[in-house]
Every structure is written in structure tokens, then in C-alpha cells.
Structure 1
């Protein structure tokens, strides 16, 4: 029986992030790792200013990234 639970939280943005920006999620997590030990909003700013991501997408990636630290 397939898992029909709807993905919630930051991961719910992942399909649209990959589609809109044309990069796999691992690309964005590498960018975040390379940015170092910055605070949440500093990492969001890196994604927005240097990579052109929208606020919601950047915030979702950073939230997921920091939760996995």
C-alpha cells in the first residue's frame, strides 16, 4: 500500500524549488554548508542575494538544513 501522507513543513517546498531553479536539492545544501556557521537569516540572505531564490524557498531550505545539523 503506497504512503499517501502529505509532506509537510520545509520539505513541502522541495519539488517546486527543484523545478523553479533547475538544481537538485543537494546543490542548495552544498551552498549552505559552504556558507559556514551563519545564523538562519544570514543563510537565507545568502540564497536570496547570491543565488536569486525567493524568501519562502530560501527559508525552507535553511530551516531543513539547520534542523539536520
Structure 2
């Protein structure tokens, strides 16, 4: 295991969990339930329906979609 800092969308995860009170796995499942919606549609859903900020919503969606595409 390395001591390198986490980069990319996952670097937002600790603050997302702290601010919104739900684990990232729950946010990812919510995004997956709304597929095959487009990236920005998913971001808008998190912002409008769950009060998430744009950067946090974008990070969750980007990470989730990247993981789904393999």
C-alpha cells in the first residue's frame, strides 16, 4: 500500500460523507439506479433532489460511471 494522496473524484469522498451524512456507497447506488441517464442529468439529480453541491455531485457521478465502464 502506498502513502500517496488520493487523487481525482475520490479525493472528495471524505468531505461528501461528512457533509451529507451518507456513505459513498449509498450515493453510488442512487446514481446507478438512475442509469442510463447522462452524466449531467445525474449531477442535476443529486443537486436538485439531494442538495449536493456541483463539485461533490460531479465527483460522485464521474467516479461511479468510470467504475461501471470497467
Common fold, TM-score beyond 0.5? Answer: yes
Structure 1, unaligned stretches of length 5 or more? none
- Structure 2 distance, partners of 1:59, 1:5, is 23
How many residues are paired up? 68
What is the aligned-residue RMSD (CA, Å)?
Answer: 1.0
CA displacement, residues 4-53 of structure 1 (integer Å, 9 cap, x when unaligned): 10100000000000000000011101110111201110000010000110
Matched, 1:42 2:35: no
Matched, 1:23 2:30: no
Structure 2, unaligned stretches of length 5 or more? none
- Structure 1 distance, partners of 2:6, 2:64, is 16
Aligned to 1:36, what secondary structure does the other structure show? coil
TM-score between both structures, scaled by the size of structure 2: 0.92
Question: Which structure 1 residue ranges, 4+ long, deviate > 2 Å from structure 2?
Answer: none
